Amino acid sequence: MLAKENQGRPRVIPSQLIPELLQHRQQGLSWEELARWLRNTHAVDCSRWAVRRACLGMGVYKESNL
Protein backbone atom coordinates (compact mmCIF):
# COMPACT_ATOMS: atom_id res chain seq x y z
CA MET A 1 0.00 0.00 0.00
CA LEU A 2 1.34 3.43 -0.94
CA ALA A 3 1.54 6.16 1.68
CA LYS A 4 -0.66 9.17 1.09
CA GLU A 5 1.35 12.21 0.06
CA ASN A 6 1.29 15.21 2.41
CA GLN A 7 -1.20 17.69 0.98
CA GLY A 8 -0.03 20.85 2.81
CA ARG A 9 -1.03 24.30 1.64
CA PRO A 10 -2.18 24.90 -1.93
CA ARG A 11 0.47 26.50 -4.14
CA VAL A 12 -1.75 27.58 -7.03
CA ILE A 13 -3.24 31.07 -6.96
CA PRO A 14 -7.01 30.64 -7.39
CA SER A 15 -8.38 32.57 -10.37
CA GLN A 16 -11.04 34.24 -8.20
CA LEU A 17 -8.25 35.97 -6.22
CA ILE A 18 -6.57 37.54 -9.28
CA PRO A 19 -8.74 40.73 -9.35
CA GLU A 20 -8.09 41.35 -5.65
CA LEU A 21 -4.39 40.61 -6.18
CA LEU A 22 -4.23 43.16 -9.01
CA GLN A 23 -6.03 45.72 -6.86
CA HIS A 24 -3.46 45.32 -4.08
CA ARG A 25 -0.65 45.61 -6.66
CA GLN A 26 -2.11 48.90 -7.93
CA GLN A 27 -2.11 50.13 -4.34
CA GLY A 28 1.67 49.68 -4.31
CA LEU A 29 2.29 46.32 -2.64
CA SER A 30 5.47 44.54 -3.71
CA TRP A 31 5.57 41.01 -5.10
CA GLU A 32 6.83 39.74 -1.72
CA GLU A 33 4.07 41.58 0.17
CA LEU A 34 1.46 40.10 -2.17
CA ALA A 35 2.85 36.60 -1.64
CA ARG A 36 2.76 37.16 2.13
CA TRP A 37 -0.83 38.45 1.88
CA LEU A 38 -1.87 35.30 -0.01
CA ARG A 39 -0.09 33.08 2.52
CA ASN A 40 -1.52 34.79 5.62
CA THR A 41 -5.02 35.64 4.37
CA HIS A 42 -5.89 32.81 1.98
CA ALA A 43 -3.41 30.05 2.98
CA VAL A 44 -1.94 29.95 -0.55
CA ASP A 45 1.79 29.26 -0.33
CA CYS A 46 3.29 30.66 -3.53
CA SER A 47 6.48 32.51 -4.35
CA ARG A 48 6.75 36.19 -5.19
CA TRP A 49 7.67 35.09 -8.71
CA ALA A 50 4.40 33.16 -9.06
CA VAL A 51 2.58 36.30 -7.92
CA ARG A 52 4.49 38.35 -10.51
CA ARG A 53 3.59 35.93 -13.30
CA ALA A 54 -0.08 35.97 -12.25
CA CYS A 55 -0.23 39.79 -12.12
CA LEU A 56 1.52 40.18 -15.48
CA GLY A 57 -0.62 37.47 -17.09
CA MET A 58 2.43 35.35 -17.93
CA GLY A 59 0.96 32.02 -16.81
CA VAL A 60 2.90 29.10 -15.43
CA TYR A 61 6.32 27.74 -16.38
CA LYS A 62 6.59 25.71 -19.55
CA GLU A 63 9.09 22.93 -20.23
CA SER A 64 11.14 25.24 -22.47
CA ASN A 65 11.62 27.71 -19.58
CA LEU A 66 13.27 25.14 -17.31
Half-sphere exposure of 66 (CA within 13 A, CB side): 4
- 8-state DSSP, 38: H
32 pLDDT band, cuts 50/70/90, is very high
Residue type, 53: R
Residues 6+ apart with CB under 8 A from 9: 39, 43, 44, 45
Please state, rounded to an integer, the average pLDDT across all residues of the chain. 85
2 pLDDT band, cuts 50/70/90, is low
Q: Give the domain ranges of the chain.
A: 15-59
Q: Which residue has the higher pLDDT, 1 or 12?
A: 12
Q: What is the pTM of this model?
A: 0.76
pLDDT (tens digit, 9 = 90+) per residue, 41-62? 999 999 999 999 999 998 776 6
